[in-house]
Chain A
């Protein structure tokens, strides 16, 4: 299982609710969560098939900034 970590500008719980339908219905995403307590507003995605760029595209389409957090 690949875990990919992104830095985002998702700040509020209702913003998480707005991206939830898209991320929940994506078959490539096994599990995802947003850590709002972190200053980088981390989006953490577990997926076997998706590439980081694909996830970035999806989140950007919903109107949020999203960039892969490098090691």
Chain B
């Protein structure tokens, strides 16, 4: 009896020792994702009861497990963000709740609150991330040193591509524009756009490829026609009951007229 009790005590100490070691390892590997990761692993180990397995696991294997679970967690985070965007667009900001999102995405509300402070923080974070993605897509292969015609063509191509491939995100941005989040998010998005675009326009004016004009006049001619065409394309109709599909020819034709209009 005494021998058995002694063995049990030794086992408990060993388990505690390994747990502390693994806990520190996990904290080091996973940083802010520690809590949900540790909770799920914790249960696994307590249920396993195989002391030999714990002893045999090398540090390297354990780090591998941490990394695999961390990747799985990141996939979950992507799914949550995608789901959140979909729900925000479908139900609007007011109809959206963290609890509903948790249910749809298959995570617990507690997990959701680890990544986002509250609903407003989620919307803000989504807006900033998607805004960054949109800026990157728009600025792809664009150089402010390009000729005005070439540069504007690249801009039109990039913006149209992003708009057509990201319909949910574009709806989301429309919602943001008419919400209390507009100033914070649009300010952050504009920051990355402003400098290269300003440089591009100043160069074009200096090269006499672009006539000087107020910013709003410029934008209404340079970009508004494109967004209008995209809106027509999205609904499948233009004016009245006229059906419409956006083609490269129509885009090129419109762009040609735009460049002509902006020339000095």
Contact = CB atoms under 8 A, between A and B. Distances in A.
Interface of A: 1-5, 33, 35, 37-40, 42, 44, 69-71
Contact of B117 (A2, A35, A40): A35
A40 B118 contact: no
Contact of B113 (A1, A2, A5): A5
Contacts of B113: 3, 5, 35, 42, 44, 69
Contact of B118 (A3, A4, A33, A70): A33
Contacts of B35: 2-4
A70 B119 contact: no
A70 B108 CA distance: 8
A5 B110 contact: yes
A56 to B, nearest CB: 15
Nearest to A40: B109
Nearest to B39: A71
B105 to A, nearest CB: 14
Contacts of A4: 35
Contacts of A71: 36, 39-40, 108, 110-111
Contacts of B98: 35, 37-38, 42
Contacts of B117: 33, 35, 44
B118 A69 contact: no
Given A2-B34, A3-B114, A35 B119 contact: yes
A33 B39 CA distance: 23
B145 interface: no
21 contacts: A1-B32, A2-B35, A3-B35, A3-B113, A5-B109, A33-B117, A33-B118, A37-B97, A38-B97, A38-B98, A38-B119, A39-B97, A40-B109, A42-B113, A42-B118, A44-B113, A44-B117, A69-B108, A69-B109, A70-B108, A71-B111
Given A3-B35, A37-B97, A39-B99, A69 B119 contact: no
Contacts of A5: 109-110, 113-114
Please tell me the size bucket of the interface on B.
10 to 19
Interface string B136-177: 000000000000000000000000000000000000000000
Contacts of B114: 3, 5
Contacts of B108: 69-71
B118 A35 contact: yes
B124 to A, nearest CB: 13
Interface string B20-62: 0000000000001011100110000000000000000000000
Contacts of A35: 98, 113, 117-119
Contacts of A1: 32
A4 B98 CA distance: 16
A41 B10 CA distance: 44
B69 to A, nearest CB: 14
B119 A37 contact: yes
B119 A42 contact: no
